């Protein structure tokens, strides 16, 4: 993991907008690894710089990786039902650690039991997630939304927040 | 280096002292009291005996998965599955925090579930509920009860649940590590499961037969039969060494009917052979078939069809037990109603085929022989790199990639093999990684995959794998191009 992060870090600055870095992982005590591996392949093929933390990732680990790699988004997966407990306070912790604009997505089977998706979505949006996805979402659509969200949130930023962002000015 | 040797009792009790201290409820476990209690359990609630009878009568017994955070709710759930679902065997599925020994988080989950009025945990936190809490569950049902989980270090969980009166315990040092953990060394999980098996052996020495069930499906995702079978046999051998005598080996439905029936046949015959070869004659071997463990269709009508096919193939395979899915599988943990529906759908399908003989042994010969040859190649290598010791060999084999489970989360697994379906939906191996499979077998796999590639007008590619992984949830077995 460290290797991946270091490698990413070196290239992250220059490529940040063309090839935005995103953090992938399955949160909590969840070990569902199949979808995670597919997501890594998919988002890589879509032109993202993917830092995949794999399964059983804590909020702190997600955030550390995002800081180290100057990531634009954290994509949290959860399939085992404890997502509701595991994701509580995620946005607050991001803010506390200085990630004030990071895009947060959550997807999977996020709660215990069959629940209407609108209910799940509302719950996770209240927790501060920007977008929430059911397990059968069309990944192409997610990639499109992600590119759009990154453009909207980060394109006007040139030089306004920290050294890492100063190199992306050319894209404006 | 870990060896396949019976743990010395003095050493066992030393480890035990530490294990029981890892959570306060551990201190309440008394083996003598547990042995006395087990002797009062009526025959119809003894898992090993019920499995043995199923084998004699050629029955396929039905068992669901189920577990919620709170004791009373869990009892209600199990009773419902017993009455409305007509389950033959009952589970207690353990929550994911307990599986990672995160008992403090499980405790929070219990509290939050009480506040929320619904279970926020995906299973029953048996360690936190302790012997007394678990015994309330045991005494509230009339069918045999098994602990089902996914715990790399299940020593405390086993101590508590067996002392409470559970009569079967799922898992093993490979099958509950590689698919269920990220950073647990294989050597550690094998040792910790030797402890669990030694504990079961201790019950056995005291006249109490506890059933043990290695977890056959592994990651449940395009697992070639030979890998699942080789690992099941290894875990069976490790259990026998510690004194376990009732063993149920498992296999997860792959999807091609011939391959599935052949795989269970090969599993049964090879296990018998290897167990005898290692000098064991007094074991009770049964098999369990898991209905499709991969992604399910969201449409419940379609999900029922997946369930029914699993039921039918389970019966054809001759497995003594089938683990049943529910129509809510695509959405996660089912309601009790959906769970009971899965059981009833399974029962209907099994009842309709139980008197039919579809496959004559010779229909399966080719596939059984192929699987057996593959398993032998894998196990020969395990013995070779372990200098004759199956425990040491397993650790070395995972290190070298001679054993390799597709799509597993563990960093101790190579994850180099690439399986995919052939044109008839058989799971074949495209890239064998370091698996010690002979060239002629690999040539056969390649030839079968080429047939599919030609039929689909595309080259063999990783895209086929992702297509296959999502195929059943999208309505088909083989992931064809659009």
CB A1 within 8 A of CB A52: no
- CA distance linking residue B126 with residue B67, whole number of Å: 10
Map tokens 């008839």 to a residue: B424
CA geometry: angle B49, B171, B258, nearest 5 deg:
80
Q: For position B438, what pLDDT does the model report?
A: 98
What is the rounded average pLDDT of the residues B55-73? 98
- The verdict on ipTM greater than 0.85 is no
Q: For position A17, what pLDDT does the model report?
A: 53
Q: From the CA of A141, how many Å to the nearest CA of chain B?
A: 17
Q: Which of A15-24, B184-193, B332-341, B371-380 has the lowest mean pLDDT?
A: A15-24
C-alpha count within 13 angstroms, C-beta hemisphere, residue B469 = 20
pLDDT of A11 higher than 60 = no
Q: For position A135, what pLDDT does the model report?
A: 87
Q: For position A116, what pLDDT does the model report?
A: 92
Q: Kindly tell me the number of DSSP H helices and DSSP E strands found in chain B.
A: 17, 10
Rg (C-alpha) for chain A, rounded Å, is: 15
Q: What share of residues in chain A are helix, strand, coil (percent, to 5)?
A: 50, 15, 35
Q: For position A51, what pLDDT does the model report?
A: 97
Find chain B residues with C-beta within 8 A of A29's C-beta.
96-97, 99-100, 102, 105
Interchain contact, A114 vs B102, CB within 8 Å: no
Interchain contact, B96 vs A28, CB within 8 Å: yes
Find chain B residues with C-beta within 8 A of A82's C-beta.
95-97, 109, 120-122
What is the rounded average pLDDT of the residues B359-368? 89
Percent of chain B with pLDDT over 90: 97
- CA distance linking residue B439 with residue A137, whole number of Å: 41
pLDDT in tens, B176-211: 999 999 999 999 999 999 999 999 999 999 999 999
The bridge status of strand B418-421 relative to strand B427-431 is antiparallel
Q: Is residue B336 part of a domain?
A: yes
pLDDT of A160 higher than 50 = no
pLDDT of A4 higher than 50 = no
How many structural domains is chain B composed of?
1
pLDDT in tens, B258-277: 999 999 999 999 999 999 99
- CA distance linking residue B67 with residue B85, whole number of Å: 15
Find chain B residues with C-beta within 8 A of A32's C-beta.
409
Average pLDDT taken over every residue of chain B: 97
pLDDT in tens, B141-156: 999 999 999 999 999 9
Q: For position A157, what pLDDT does the model report?
A: 55
Per the structure, the complete domain to which residue B170 belongs is given by 9-353
Query: Would you kindly state where each structural domain of chain A is located, as residue ranges?
Result: 2-151
Q: From the CA of A2, how many Å to the nearest CA of chain B?
A: 14
Q: For position B358, what pLDDT does the model report?
A: 83
pLDDT of A168 higher than 80 = no
Q: Which of A1-15, B48-62, B165-179, B451-465 has the lowest mean pLDDT?
A: A1-15
- Count other Cβ atoms within 10 Å, centred on residue B283: 16
- CA distance linking residue A159 with residue A172, whole number of Å: 11
Q: Which CATH number is associated with domain A2-151?
A: 3.40.50.280
Find chain B residues with C-beta within 8 A of A33's C-beta.
179, 219, 407-409
pLDDT of A163 higher than 80 = no
CB B245 within 8 A of CB B207: no
Interchain contact, B109 vs A82, CB within 8 Å: yes
How are strands ordered across the β-sheet holding A131-133?
Answer: A49-52, A21-26, A73-78, A103-108, A131-133
pLDDT of A67 higher than 60 = yes
pLDDT in tens, B387-426: 999 999 999 999 999 999 999 999 999 999 999 999 999 9
pLDDT in tens, B290-337: 999 999 999 999 999 999 999 999 999 999 999 999 999 998 899 999
Residue B13, domain CATH: 3.20.20.240
pLDDT of B90 higher than 80 = yes
pLDDT in tens, B208-251: 999 999 999 999 999 999 999 999 999 999 999 999 999 999 99
pLDDT in tens, B336-356: 999 999 999 999 999 999 999
Q: From the CA of B84, how many Å to the nearest CA of chain A?
A: 19
Catalytic residue among B170, B187, B235, B300: B170
Q: Which of A9-23, B147-161, B282-296 has the lowest mean pLDDT?
A: A9-23
């Amino acid at each position: 993991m460290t290797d991946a992060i270091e490698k990413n870090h070196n290239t992250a600055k220059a490529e940040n907008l063309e090839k935005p870095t995103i953090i992938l992982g399955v949160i909590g005590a969840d070990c569902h690894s199949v979808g995670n591996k597919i997501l890594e392949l998919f988002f890589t093929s879509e032109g993202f710089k993917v830092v995949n933390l794999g399964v059983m990732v804590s909020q702190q680990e997600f955030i550390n990786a995002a800081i180290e790699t100057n990531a634009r988004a954290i994509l949290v997966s959860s399939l085992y039902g404890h997502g509701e407990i595991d994701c509580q306070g995620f946005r607050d912790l991001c803010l506390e650690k200085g990630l004030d604009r990071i895009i947060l997505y959550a997807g999977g089977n996020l709660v215990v039991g069959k629940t209407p998706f609108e209910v799940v979505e509302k719950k996770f949006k209240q927790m501060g997630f920007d977008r929430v996805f059911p397990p059968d979402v069309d990944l192409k659509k997610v990639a499109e939304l992600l590119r759009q969200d990154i453009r909207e949130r980060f394109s006007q930023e040139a030089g306004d927040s920290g050294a890492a962002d100063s190199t992306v000015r050319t894209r404006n | 280096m870990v060896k396949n040797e019976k743990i010395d009792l003095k050493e066992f009790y030393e480890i035990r002292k530490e294990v029981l201290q890892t959570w306060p409820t551990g201190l309440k476990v008394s083996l003598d009291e547990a042995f006395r209690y087990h002797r009062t359990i009526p025959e119809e609630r003894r898992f090993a005996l019920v499995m043995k009878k199923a084998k004699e009568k050629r029955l396929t017994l039905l068992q669901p998965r189920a577990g919620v955070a709170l004791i009373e709710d869990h009892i209600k759930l199990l009773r419902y599955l017993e009455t409305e679902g007509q389950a033959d065997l009952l589970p207690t599925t353990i929550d994911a925090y307990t599986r990672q020994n995160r008992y403090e988080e499980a405790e929070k989950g219990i509290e939050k579930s009480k506040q929320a009025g619904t279970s926020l945990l995906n299973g029953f936190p048996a360690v936190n509920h302790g012997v007394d809490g678990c015994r309330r569950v045991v005494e509230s049902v009339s069918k045999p009860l098994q602990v089902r989980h996914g715990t790399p270090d299940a020593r405390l969980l086993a101590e508590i649940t067996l002392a409470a009166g559970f009569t079967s315990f799922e898992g093993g040092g490979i099958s509950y590590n590689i698919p269920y953990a990220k950073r647990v060394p294989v050597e550690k999980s094998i040792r910790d499961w030797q402890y669990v098996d030694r504990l079961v052996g201790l019950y056995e020495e005291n006249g109490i037969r506890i059933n043990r069930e290695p977890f056959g499906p592994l990651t449940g995702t395009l697992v070639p039969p030979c890998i699942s079978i080789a690992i099941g046999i290894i875990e069976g051998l490790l259990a026998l060494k510690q004194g376990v005598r009732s063993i149920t080996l498992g296999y997860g439905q792959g999807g091609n009917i011939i391959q599935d029936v052949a795989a269970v046949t090969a599993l049964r015959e090879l296990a018998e052979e290897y167990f005898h070869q290692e000098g064991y004659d007094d074991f009770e071997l049964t098999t369990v078939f898991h209905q499709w463990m991969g992604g399910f269709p969201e449409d419940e009508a379609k999900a029922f069809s997946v369930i029914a096919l699993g039921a039918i193939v389970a019966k054809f395979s001759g497995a003594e037990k089938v683990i049943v899915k529910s129509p809510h599988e695509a959405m996660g943990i089912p309601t009790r109603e959906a769970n009971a529906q899965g059981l009833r759908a399974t029962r209907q399908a099994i009842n309709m085929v139980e008197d039919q003989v579809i496959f004559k042994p010779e229909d399966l010969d080719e596939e059984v022989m192929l699987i057996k040859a593959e398993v032998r190649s894998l196990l020969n290598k395990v013995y070779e790199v372990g200098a004759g010791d199956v425990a040491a060999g397993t650790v070395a084999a995972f290190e070298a990639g001679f054993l390799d489970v597709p799509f597993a989360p563990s960093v101790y697994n190579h994850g180099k093999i690439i399986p995919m379906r052939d044109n008839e939906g058989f799971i074949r191996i495209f890239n064998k990684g370091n698996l010690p499979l002979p060239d002629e077998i690999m040539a056969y796999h390649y030839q079968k995959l080429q047939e599919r590639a030609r039929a689909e007008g595309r080259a063999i590619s990783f895209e086929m794998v992702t297509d296959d992984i999502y195929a059943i949830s999208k309505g088909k077995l083989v992931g064809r191009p659009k």
